[in-house]
Amino acid sequence: MRVISGSARGRKLYSPSGNDVRPTTDTVKESVFSIIQFDIEGCRFLDAFAGSGQMGIEALSRGADKAFFVDSSRRSMEIIRKNISLCGFGADKAVTVCRDTISYISGTEERFDIAFLDPPYKTGLVQSAFELCTRITDKLIICEHPSDETLPERSGKFILKKKYKYGTITVSLYVCSESQGI
């Protein structure tokens, strides 16, 4: 697992061992960042259910202003902090929050341009997190989920723009109708 592009390009990232974390595949990661490449520069990025932190780190490497990494696992948070340090990002760019993600999203006053959601599969967490993120995100919400798991076409000001399928994985891209003129 490596950073694909930007200032930290080529850095090999650490990943928690075991079956608790399922890192986003390089194919899916590369595709997601190709899709949102023009929205990254200067954005505030939420890496929810962060695992290794690779999505937020990729966003920072490509020019995001700030990334927030949220995960409830202390072990994952140690790996995330190690990866952030390895890539040379400081506290001014990377914020780590070791807390239940749903609880964090429910209570935060932070605002994000882009939220990336990749919770444990088939737990109902992707639907819950998506609904909650509609109030704290201003531009895009990206949900990685199993292809047989259904998400709504619309929630609040967010509309499903497109689904991208990669075998058994689907990435659903939601855009804010207020920011996209939809």
Task: Give me the architecture of the 41-180 domain, per CATH.
Answer: 3-Layer(aba) Sandwich (3.40)
Contact 68, 136 (CB under 8 A): no
* Reported pTM: 0.94
Q: Is the pLDDT of residue 18 over 50?
A: yes
The reported pLDDT for the residue numbered 33 is: 96
Model pLDDT for residues 25-78, shown as the tens digit of each residue: 788 899 999 999 999 999 999 999 999 999 999 999 999 999 999 999 999 999
pLDDT range class, residue 24, cuts 50, 70, 90: confident
pLDDT of 20 strictly over 70: no
- Reduced to 3 states (helix: H, G, I; strand: E, B; else coil), residue 55 is helix
Q: Give 67-127 as a DSSP string.
A: EEEEES-HHHHHHHHHHHHHTT--TTTEEEEES-HHHHHHH----EEEEEE-PPTTSSHHH
Give the start-to-end residue ranges of the domains of the chain. Answer: 41-180
Per-residue pLDDT reduced to its tens digit, 79-131: 999 999 999 999 999 999 999 999 999 999 999 999 999 998 888 899 999 99
